[in-house]
Structure 1
Amino acid sequence: MTLASLLQQGHSLRSIAKVLERSPSSLSLELARNGGAAGYTSQPALQATSVRRVRSRPLPKLYADGALSHIDSRLLTWLWSPCQIARTVRRIWPDKPELHVSHKTI
């Protein structure tokens, strides 16, 4: 069962929360965020969530086609530590902070 179908059947938020094994406050937030004038339906809510997710996440610095990915993978095969790689990248490109990564990211 879904949140939308249980709401259409007239169930209370607390009873829906028990069925879906979720907190009532989580469901309340979902309804407030994605419910419209016509009520809550799952498909527009899913689309709105997808748009927000794409919009809110910056492109990772170490994505597969990036220059840092190739450098990091090469240096890791040479058994460099992540700390050594992070320091070296900072030394190579001191004026490009967008290329600087933490050793934890590596």
Structure 2
Amino acid sequence: METEMSSERGQEDIVIEAIDIHKHYDTGQVVVKALQGVTLRTQRGEVVVIMGPSGCGKATLLNCLSGLDRVTQGTIRITNQDIRDLSIASSRSSAPATHIRRCSKRATKTTTMQGKAHE
């Protein structure tokens, strides 16, 4: 997801950065590879839509980006802080999700299809 804009802007403009993330679930009989090598960078003020068919890993990606679930491999940074460092008590700590909410409050207003503005 590299763009000309990201090369012109500095590292400080990256709000969410996921680098080569993998998420595997071991059921005991089979290993489900929900995410395989996902890399994503979002810039301050950028609006991102995650789309895909059922079962493709959208919810898993969002759970990992918010810190609700840990990745099997890779790095996730929110405003240049590794989310593993944001989790104080345990892997289920809400610290990363709270940090994301604070960042998202600064995001640009988006407009729904009905034309109503939301923050």
TM-score (norm 1): 0.30
**The structure with more helix, counted as a fraction of residues:** 1
The answer to which structure, 1 or 2, has the higher relative contact order (CA under 8 A, 6+ apart) is: 2
**The structure with more strand, counted as a fraction of residues:** 2
TM-score (norm 2): 0.28
Question: Whose Rg is larger?
Answer: 1
